[in-house]
Chain A
Amino acid sequence: MAGSWTRWLVAAAAVVLLTPVAACASTAGFYDQLSTAAGEVASASGSAAEAIDLTAHGRLTSAVRDSAIADADQQSSTAAGTLDQLQANTTDRQASRRTTIDAVHRAQRSLQLADDAAANHDDQTLARLAPTLREQAKQLTDLQDEWASR
């Protein structure tokens, strides 16, 4: 009897350990993944731009702004990395996909610059980057919607 309980416990532990892995590994379609990555980077760019603007208007502390930019940089790097892996695994090089991937990389670069500027307390560079980030967020949101509708 004790053996059967042990089996149940091992099974429960396996479910607990394997579910997150299965959840992360469950792959959506290619279009869905493009849409998700574009959405994540759009969200990251938008929140970084918002944090820069709120700080410039004296409504947010620079410590929170810097954290928000670092989080956004991290989020965009992860999304861009997933996208690169996806692109490497497909032989298809359609122009529309290329446009999305390029837009993601441009936004990622802007966020990296913003993260560096925040680390150096370079408010001028941040102020210059905010409109760019906002524009890139808008473009990526449009691309996200476009892929989601396919």
Chain B
Amino acid sequence: MKKVLGLALGILTAIGGFVDIGDLVTNGVVGSRFGFGLAWSTLLGVVGICLFANMSGRVAAVSGRATFELIRERLGARVGLLNLVASFLINLMTLTAEIGGVALALMLASSVNYLLWVPVAALALWLVIWRVKFTVLENVTGLLGLCLIVFAVALFLLGPDWGEVVKQAVSPHLSQTESPATYWYYAVALFGAAMTPYEVFFFSSGAVEEKWSLKDLSQSRMNVLVGFPLGGLLSLAIAGCAAVFLMPKGIEVSSLSQLVLPVAAAGGKLAVAFVLVGLFAATFGAGLETTLSSGYTLAQFFGWSWGKFRSPARAARFHVSMMICLLVGIAVLMTGIDPVMVTEMSVVFSAAALPLTYFPILVVANDPDYMGQYVNSRLVNIAGQIFLVIVVAASLAAIPLMIITGAGK
């Protein structure tokens, strides 16, 4: 019974923890501009993250070490450094976006300007990381993030023509005001949002924090293969609400407040309360994950003592680096830069750096010195290589498309 409950908890937290500010914003924007015409990109990203998160979870469970640590050891300091620079900068950008997301969610609940909430949000993130146990912070934010299921409920209450939904998803049609370049720009952004690099670093480091071993492999697999696709459905529901309610009214999502309108129209104030809790939990949870991921990547590259299972005094550099990252996030947001714009940039840069994250994982997962008999199967390798081709194509297209479209304008 305990094992079943543990499995259910793992899956539920994986669903609730799947959506972050990048998914919220990008799916909202895409739904309001392209309807269901880019659902395929989200689905593709979900398959990719399942494939590689499962791989990195297996690496951590078998070797007892985090993916990033092994990448540096297996591929050498130079490749490790390149991976570190790209992952760390994108992670920092994502962390900044998540702090902004927490502040925006608090603004929606309170009407107090988000800039006043930014330091409060960052302080709360630091306090939780400093004081709260890893499993507690992961489970509480993941479970509260399940409140975002209200988007799926709202989509059903809005009563879309499901035949039309399938038609839009299967044969996308561009409106007069959209160009093929913006369509592909947002396809890459959605893919990048679903496959954000911090997710695999957090997943594998989390496995070490929770001391996973071979007997936890099946739970890891279930968390990824059941929890992430259901989380992906949440992303589709967010896009769906925007497509059904906002798109016909000509409202393009450019702020979190607009994301709430379809939910309010469908379910009233109770649904709004759920969505506000969900937005806060999703961004706060992702804020914790990105803060920890910043510390994990730096500590694992430089060989510092790391982990929340150690007291802060025994992992001082790990904790100091996270504090500095939070301060950088506050400083960037205090310039008045739009957090939604930071989010849009972060998902596109994520897409651009994807090969640097995912290629080394594929290499390590195939190394018998680390994995023994648990190296990738032939089928997983074929899927991994196909995805690497897609990831490289998205990576090469991301920045030129950003410039051509003026960041999707």
A75 beta carbon closer than 8 Å to chain B: yes
Complex interface: chain A residues within 8 A of B109 (CB) = 63
Within 8 A of A (CB), among B387-409: 399, 402-407, 409
Verify A19–B403 contact, CB threshold 8 A.
yes
Cβ proximity bits B164-188 to A, threshold 8 Å, 1 near / 0 not: 0000000000001100000000000
Return B225 CB to nearest CB of chain A, in Å. 34
- Tell me the bound Cα distance from A35 to B177 in angstroms: 8
- Which of B78, B85, B403 interacts with A12 by CB under 8 Å? B85
Verify A50–B257 contact, CB threshold 8 A.
no
Cβ proximity bits A58-71 to B, threshold 8 Å, 1 near / 0 not: 11111110111001
Verify A68–B255 contact, CB threshold 8 A.
yes
Verify B257–A39 contact, CB threshold 8 A.
no
Complex interface: chain B residues within 8 A of A141 (CB) = 250
A24 beta carbon closer than 8 Å to chain B: yes
Complex interface: chain B residues within 8 A of A5 (CB) = 78, 81
Complex interface: chain A residues within 8 A of B349 (CB) = 16, 19
Verify B257–A64 contact, CB threshold 8 A.
yes
- Tell me the bound Cα distance from A115 to B268 in angstroms: 23
B158 beta carbon closer than 8 Å to chain A: no
B335 beta carbon closer than 8 Å to chain A: no
Verify A68–B257 contact, CB threshold 8 A.
yes
Verify A26–B250 contact, CB threshold 8 A.
no
Cβ proximity bits B319-336 to A, threshold 8 Å, 1 near / 0 not: 000000000000000000
Cβ proximity bits A105-145 to B, threshold 8 Å, 1 near / 0 not: 00000000000000000000000000000000100010011
Complex interface: chain B residues within 8 A of A145 (CB) = 176-177
Return B337 CB to nearest CB of chain A, in Å. 10
Verify B403–A26 contact, CB threshold 8 A.
yes
Verify B255–A19 contact, CB threshold 8 A.
no
- Tell me the bound Cα distance from A13 to B82 in angstroms: 12
Verify A63–B108 contact, CB threshold 8 A.
yes
B254 beta carbon closer than 8 Å to chain A: yes
Verify B255–A75 contact, CB threshold 8 A.
yes
- Tell me the bound Cα distance from A71 to B259 in angstroms: 12
- Which of B251, B254, B268, B405 interacts with A50 by CB under 8 Å? B251
Verify B176–A71 contact, CB threshold 8 A.
no
Of the candidates A15, A59, A67, A71, the one having the most CB atoms from chain B within 10 angstroms of its own CB is: A67
Complex interface: chain B residues within 8 A of A68 (CB) = 255, 257-258, 260-261
Verify A54–B108 contact, CB threshold 8 A.
no
Of the candidates A9, A51, A64, A144, the one having the most CB atoms from chain B within 10 angstroms of its own CB is: A64
Within 8 A of A (CB), among B265-297: 265, 268-269, 272, 276
Return B397 CB to nearest CB of chain A, in Å. 13
Complex interface: chain B residues within 8 A of A46 (CB) = 249-251
Return A20 CB to nearest CB of chain B, in Å. 6
Verify A28–B264 contact, CB threshold 8 A.
no
Tell me the nearest residue of chain B to A43, going by C-beta: B252
A23 beta carbon closer than 8 Å to chain B: yes
- Which of A8, A13, A22, A67 interacts with B403 by CB under 8 Å? A22
Return B96 CB to nearest CB of chain A, in Å. 13
Complex interface: chain B residues within 8 A of A28 (CB) = 406, 409
Tell me the nearest residue of chain A to B114, going by C-beta: A67
- Tell me the bound Cα distance from A89 to B257 in angstroms: 34
Complex interface: chain A residues within 8 A of B261 (CB) = 47, 50-51, 54, 60, 68
Verify A58–B407 contact, CB threshold 8 A.
no
B363 beta carbon closer than 8 Å to chain A: no
Verify B85–A9 contact, CB threshold 8 A.
yes
Complex interface: chain A residues within 8 A of B272 (CB) = 59-61, 64
B107 beta carbon closer than 8 Å to chain A: yes
Return B101 CB to nearest CB of chain A, in Å. 14
Complex interface: chain B residues within 8 A of A67 (CB) = 107-108, 111, 255, 257
Complex interface: chain A residues within 8 A of B176 (CB) = 145, 148-149
B89 beta carbon closer than 8 Å to chain A: yes
Return A68 CB to nearest CB of chain B, in Å. 4
- Can you name 10 extra interface pairs (CB under 8 A) apart from A58-B269, A64-B264, A141-B250? A12-B85, A23-B407, A26-B403, A26-B406, A39-B177, A64-B272, A67-B257, A144-B177, A145-B176, A148-B177
18 interchain pairs, CB-CB under 8 A = A9-B85, A16-B349, A19-B399, A28-B406, A42-B250, A50-B265, A59-B269, A60-B272, A61-B269, A62-B111, A64-B260, A67-B108, A67-B111, A68-B260, A71-B257, A71-B258, A75-B254, A148-B177
Which 8 residue pairs are nearest across A and B when measured between Cβ atoms?
A68-B257, A71-B255, A60-B264, A23-B407, A63-B111, A43-B252, A67-B257, A59-B268
